[in-house]
Amino acid sequence: MKVAVVGATGLVGGEIMKVLTERNFPVTELIPVASERSVGKQIEFKGKQYTVVGFEDAIKMKPDVAIFSAGGGTSTKIAPLFAEAGITVVDNSSAWRMDPTKKLVVPEINAYTLTKEDKIIANPNCSTIQMVVVLNPLHLKYKIKRVVVSTYQSVTGTGKAAVDQLFAEREGRTDVPAVYPHKIDLNVLPHIDVFLDNGYTKEEMKMVNETKKIMMDDAIAVTATTVRIPTIGGHSEAVNIEFENEFDLQEVFDILSNTEGVIVQDDPKNFVYPMPINAHGKDEVFVGRIRRDETQPKTLNMWIVADNLRKGAATNAVQIAEYLSKNNLL
């Protein structure tokens, strides 16, 4: 199978190629694609060197699937050109997520809705993916009424330049351009993406709107506060869930322990709980600190952690491509 990785020289692009290798995706030919300034560079994949090509050349090479991680502006312009050539696009940017004509997919939840006609498939926001993987099985059992989520998001979510800023500040260097409006090392920024007219950030509204679309239930009320913290390795979330129906706490543990892609880490007496330092490089979503909210009925608190470059981006996109391949939808 011919696979194009668009944005191959970026953080997520590199992670996509790593995931393709680890999961033994049936790549017969890799087509690394990037902007003009990166064309001609060499990229190694499975011990072989490949030359980075531009968008037009990539389309002419007729890949079966193109996994995009090149930003919303690029995707808006280029993804339709791939689709028009009959190439299925799995897009990591925010460009197509809320387009009513495009599917927004987390494979464990709604891959079954995909058809051969879906030529541009949207990969959700990283913080949304890890939350809904945990929420969906509980919603099916108890019906979720309202979700309150506060995130603690890694600088890797902004990209390599943000990682460079963090380590430059840590080392006392001033030779690296700042990505954030404030210092990030030893600090916390309650600000991810741009602020909107309603006082929320775009990242916060992504979590609100994408959750409803993925879980196919507009009745779920979601409110979010998204925060950038000086970590690498993964995003963390404190999530408060109010259900329509009463739940049994042990049953919640049982449901999550038997959910594909979820690992329960909840033994506080022995200091066992999810942390980004342990989620780094892993594909699963980790959940712990599972406990009743004692201030109101039918409400649950939990802590959810996942590597935002893996399940939050690269792994989820590759899993979509795997589903398309296995079900002859390419």
The conformation of residue 260, written as its DSSP 8-state character, comes to T
Distance CA 107, CA 131 (A): 14
Distance CA 171, CA 152 (A): 23
Q: Give the β-pairing of 42-45 and 48-51.
A: antiparallel
Quick one: tokens of 64? 């079966």
Residue among 2, 8, 52 at smallest CA distance from 28: 2
The question of whether 235 is a catalytic residue gets the answer yes
What angle in degrees, to the nearest 10, is found between the helix axes of 126-142 and 249-257?
130
Please check if 154 is assigned to a binding site.
Answer: no
Please check if 319 is assigned to a binding site.
Answer: no
Q: How many CB atoms lie within 10 A of CB 140?
A: 12
Please check if 9 is assigned to a binding site.
Answer: yes
What angle in degrees, to the nearest 10, is found between the helix axes of 202-214 and 126-142?
40
Please check if 310 is assigned to a binding site.
Answer: no
Please check if 265 is assigned to a binding site.
Answer: no
What does each C-alpha distance from 146 to 127, 140, 181, 237, 309 come to in angstroms? 17, 14, 32, 16, 27
Catalytic residue among 139, 191, 235, 280: 235
At position 226, the amino acid (one-letter code) is T
Please check if 38 is assigned to a binding site.
Answer: yes
Task: Report the C-alpha dihedral over residues 124, 127, 130, 135, rounded to 10 degrees.
Answer: -90
Distance CA 27, CA 278 (A): 29
What does each C-alpha distance from 155 to 72, 125, 127, 160, 187 come to in angstroms? 19, 15, 13, 8, 12
Backbone angles phi, psi at 125, to 5 degrees: -60, 145
Please check if 146 is assigned to a binding site.
Answer: no
The conformation of residue 228, written as its DSSP 8-state character, comes to B
The question of whether 126 is a catalytic residue gets the answer yes
Residues 189/228, Cβ–Cβ less than 8 Å: yes
Quick one: tokens of 92? 């990591």
Please check if 170 is assigned to a binding site.
Answer: no
Would you please indicate which residues are annotated as catalytic (active-site) residues? 126, 235
Q: Which residues are documented as binding site?
A: 9-12, 37-38, 97, 153, 228, 308
Q: Which residues are documented as binding site for NADP(+)?
A: 9-12, 37-38, 308
Q: Which residues are documented as binding site for phosphate?
A: 97
